[in-house]
């Protein structure tokens, strides 16, 4: 073999050591504006874009690791890449870290759909749910920052990497939590950060350990919601109340670090003592008044006034208002104090009987009407009630509006007083004599009487007699002939003459008859006896019941 052939074989064997896709060492032989020329010991050099050396200070003669992508291109030059060499090396490192379960540092590059892109030597994806323990609202605040991550997924074919920062934080917190649980004891005072607030309390972060600060352990006073005491992100000092190492639970308290104001509450605020305080809450049933820090009393709406009818405390009190009240009762177990405002004044009901003795005649204005009676003002805040049954001796009144209206001046008699329930009963009819007390002197069976038709009903006509007493002419007593309808014979305001055929003092009814006007005494007795057989519930209804239920000029008993 000739020397040239041997040399050719030696060169060929040397070049056969270069394999495409491998990382090789090279030397920078020229630095140009667009490319860097690198010699790898092959028969031709390679050109690498200057951009791949960005932010690096290089000189001719510097060594560099590159990826041999192609031994020769169309121009006969070696195709090299510094970036791809670094990527290949970094990828292998990432895979090794992933297999070993280690952590990797990286810089957040940008926000993408669903999370963040991170440079850990190669590009990796950090899902939004894995950024922190609580997914952040704004991912842009993480861009440009460096963190440690756990690699949770590697796809070698697609060159995809998925990271988690949340698992790193949770692992750190788990370690801190164990350290905390091993060292903390009941009674310790520790600093924490309010992490979350619920209706029943607040969760406080204690060096990786979440402790519960229950609403009942926040204040000796009464609070409606934990947000009245703390806010998210607030740094607070708390006391350890209970530690459950097995379940990893810690109970916290704030009020336990302060003196209990309820311990000697009865000595500080004896019953009947006057106290001053500030209105802190207004509810439909009463007002809460803070008489010292952590101690509130309740003024029930019924304890605001002796005489005023106060529907809501907000009608007379305002939040923040300073008021004076009297201590009515204390419950240490329930931590409740009952207060009263009206006790600061004399109760006008204490001497009510002296001012309004039974039987006294009074005059007052009608203040209100109800279905069962009328309220008459006696003095400021005190009313007397006239029951509907005490409005008239002779009329059966179903509603007081039939004879009274608001503002009317009425004269009445004091009938009774109930101090306990604060009621004064009045009567209008008692101010006059009962015309039925001597009815026998006014009306006797057989008497001829005159009157005016007041109302027509299907069963008869009502006639107004003397002393505002009504008599009933039953339809059967209108004529000897059969009468189909009362209004065919009589109409309202007609003057009539009739004979009394019945007087019922118990039921307060007087029966009249037109057809008996010319009867003999014997016929009258027979008619009166016949009239007795009428049923009070139908034919002989209550006089004023029919009056009030009548519609227009006719009313049927079946409509009752």
525: confidence class by pLDDT, cuts 50, 70, 90: confident
- The average pLDDT across 310-331 equals 91
Could you please report the per-residue DSSP string of 443-456? --TT-EEEEEEEEE
**Residue of 173, 110, 184, 95 whose CA lies nearest to 142:** 110
> CA-to-CA distance for 508 and 394, rounded, in angstroms?
8
The pair of three-digit structure tokens given for residue 445, joined into one six-digit string: 């069976």
Nearby residues of 484 by Cβ (< 8 Å), 6 or more positions away: none
Decide the pairing of beta strands 115-119 and 160-164. unpaired
Contact call for residues 361 and 413 (beta carbons, < 8 A): yes
| Bigger pLDDT: 475 vs 548 | 475
> CA-to-CA distance for 150 and 170, rounded, in angstroms?
11
Q: What structural domains and CATH numbers belong to the chain?
A: 18-86 (2.40.50.140), 101-169 (2.40.50.140), 184-257 (2.40.50.140), 264-340 (2.40.50.140), 348-427 (2.40.50.140), 442-519 (2.40.50.140)
Contact call for residues 474 and 531 (beta carbons, < 8 A): yes
The pair of three-digit structure tokens given for residue 270, joined into one six-digit string: 């004896």
Nearby residues of 412 by Cβ (< 8 Å), 6 or more positions away: 361, 362, 363, 364, 376, 384, 386, 426, 427, 428, 430, 431
**Residue of 11, 47, 407 whose CA lies nearest to 38:** 47
> CA-to-CA distance for 61 and 344, rounded, in angstroms?
102
Q: What is the pLDDT of residues 119-164, one digit of tens each?
A: 887 788 999 888 888 778 888 889 999 998 998 888 877 778 898 8
Neighbours of 375 (CB within 10 A): 20
5: confidence class by pLDDT, cuts 50, 70, 90: low
| Bigger pLDDT: 110 vs 121 | 110
Q: Which helix (H) or strand (E) holds 418?
A: strand 409-418
| Bigger pLDDT: 91 vs 407 | 407
Torsion, Cα 503 507 512 516, to 10 degrees, reads: -50
pLDDT attached to residue 149: 92
Task: Find where tokens 């998925």 sit.
Answer: 162
358: confidence class by pLDDT, cuts 50, 70, 90: very high
pLDDT attached to residue 367: 92
The pair of three-digit structure tokens given for residue 274, joined into one six-digit string: 């006057």
Nearby residues of 398 by Cβ (< 8 Å), 6 or more positions away: 388, 544, 545, 548
pLDDT attached to residue 181: 83
Helix (H/G/I), strand (E/B), else coil: 190: strand
Q: How far is CA 377 from the centre of its chain?
A: 39
Contact call for residues 362 and 328 (beta carbons, < 8 A): no
Can you give the C-alpha Rg of the chain in angstroms?
Answer: 52
Q: What is the pLDDT of residues 457-476, one digit of tens each?
A: 889 999 988 888 889 999 98
554: confidence class by pLDDT, cuts 50, 70, 90: very low
Sheet holding 35-39, edge to edge: 46-49, 35-39, 23-31, 63-70, 79-81
Q: What is the 3-state secondary structure (H, E, C) of 299-325?
A: EEHHHCCCCCCCCCHHHCCCCCCEEEE
The pair of three-digit structure tokens given for residue 427, joined into one six-digit string: 């009567």
- The average pLDDT across 422-438 equals 87
Percent of the chain with pLDDT over 70: 90
pLDDT attached to residue 17: 66
Q: What is the pLDDT of residues 51-88, one digit of tens each?
A: 777 777 878 887 777 777 777 776 778 878 776 777 77
pLDDT attached to residue 286: 93
**Residue of 430, 405, 406, 404 whose CA lies nearest to 416:** 430
Distances (CA, A) of 57 to 25, 36, 78, 121, 351: 18, 12, 23, 20, 106
> CA-to-CA distance for 511 and 502, rounded, in angstroms?
5
Buried-state track 21-35, b at ≥16 Cβ within 10 A, e below 16:
eeebebebeeeeeee
> CA-to-CA distance for 161 and 103, rounded, in angstroms?
13
Q: What is the pLDDT of residues 28-58, one digit of tens each?
A: 888 788 887 878 888 778 888 877 777 778 7
Kindly tell me the burial class for residue 123, based on how many C-beta atoms sit within 10 Å of its own C-beta (0-12, 13-18, 19 or more).
Answer: middle
pTM above 0.75, yes or no: no
> CA-to-CA distance for 422 and 278, rounded, in angstroms?
30
The pair of three-digit structure tokens given for residue 488, joined into one six-digit string: 């065919």
- Average pLDDT of every residue of the chain: 83
pLDDT attached to residue 12: 52
> CA-to-CA distance for 545 and 479, rounded, in angstroms?
25
Helix (H/G/I), strand (E/B), else coil: 181: helix
pLDDT attached to residue 4: 53
Contact call for residues 195 and 210 (beta carbons, < 8 A): yes
**Residue of 354, 357, 277, 261 whose CA lies nearest to 321:** 277
508: confidence class by pLDDT, cuts 50, 70, 90: confident
């Amino acid at each position: 073999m000739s020397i040239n052939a041997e040399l050719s074989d030696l060169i060929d064997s040397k070049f056969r050591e270069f394999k495409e896709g491998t990382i090789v060492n090279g030397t920078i032989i020229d630095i140009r504006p667009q490319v860097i020329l690198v010699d790898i010991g092959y028969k031709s050099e390679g050109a690498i874009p200057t951009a791949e050396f960005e932010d690096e200070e290089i000189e001719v003669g510097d060594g560099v690791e590159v990826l041999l992508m192609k031994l020769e291109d169309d121009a006969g030059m070696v195709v090299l890449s510094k970036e791809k060499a670094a990527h290949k090396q970094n990828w292998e490192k990432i895979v090794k870290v992933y297999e070993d379960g280690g952590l990797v540092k990286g810089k957040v590059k940008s926000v993408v759909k669903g999370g963040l892109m991170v440079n850990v030597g190669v590009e990796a994806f950090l899902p939004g749910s894995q950024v922190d323990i609580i997914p952040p609202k704004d991912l842009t605040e993480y861009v440009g920052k460096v963190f440690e991550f756990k690699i949770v997924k590697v796809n070698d074919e697609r060159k995809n990497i998925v990271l988690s920062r949340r698992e790193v934080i949770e692992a750190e917190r788990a370690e801190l939590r164990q350290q905390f649980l091993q060292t903390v004891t009941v009674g310790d005072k520790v600093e924490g950060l309010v992490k979350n607030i619920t209706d029943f309390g607040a969760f406080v972060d204690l060096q990786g350990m979440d402790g519960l600060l229950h609403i009942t352990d926040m204040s000796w006073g009464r609070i409606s919601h934990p947000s009245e005491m703390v806010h998210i992100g607030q740094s607070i000092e708390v006391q350890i109340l209970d530690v459950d190492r097995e379940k990893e639970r810690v109970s916290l308290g704030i009020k336990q670090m302060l003196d209990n104001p309820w311990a000697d509450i009865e000595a500080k605020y004896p019953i009947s003592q006057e106290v001053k305080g500030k209105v802190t809450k207004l509810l439909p049933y009463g007002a809460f008044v803070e008489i010292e820090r952590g101690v509130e009393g309740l003024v029930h709406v019924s304890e605001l006034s002796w005489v005023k009818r106060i529907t809501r405390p907000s009608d007379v009190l305002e939040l923040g208002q300073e008021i004076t009240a009297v201590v009515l009762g204390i419950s240490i177990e329930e931590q409740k104090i009952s207060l009263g405002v009206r006790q600061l004044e004399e109760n006008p009901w204490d001497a009510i009987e002296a001012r309004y003795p039974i039987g006294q005649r009074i005059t007052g204005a009608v203040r209100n009407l109800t279905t069962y009676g009328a309220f008459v003002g006696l003095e400021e805040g005190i009313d007397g009630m006239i029951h509907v049954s005490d409005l008239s001796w002779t009329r059966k009144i179903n509603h007081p509006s039939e004879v009274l209206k608001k503002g009317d001046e009425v004269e009445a008699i004091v009938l009774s007083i109930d101090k306990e329930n604060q009621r004064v009963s009045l009567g209008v009819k008692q101010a006059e004599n009962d015309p039925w007390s001597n009815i026998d002197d006014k009306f006797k069976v057989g008497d001829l009487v005159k009157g005016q038709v007041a109302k027509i009903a299907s069963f008869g006509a009502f006639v107004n007699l003397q002393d505002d007493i009504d008599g009933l002419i039953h339809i059967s007593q209108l004529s000897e002939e059969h009468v189909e309808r009362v209004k065919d014979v009589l109409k309202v305001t007609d003057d009539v003459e009739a004979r009394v055929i019945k007087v019922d003092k118990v039921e307060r009814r007087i029966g009249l008859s037109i057809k008996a006007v010319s009867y003999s005494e014997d016929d009258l007795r027979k008619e009166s006896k016949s009239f007795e057989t009428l049923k009070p519930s139908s034919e002989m209804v209550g006089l004023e019941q029919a009056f009030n239920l009548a519609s227009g000029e006719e009313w049927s008993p079946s409509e009752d």
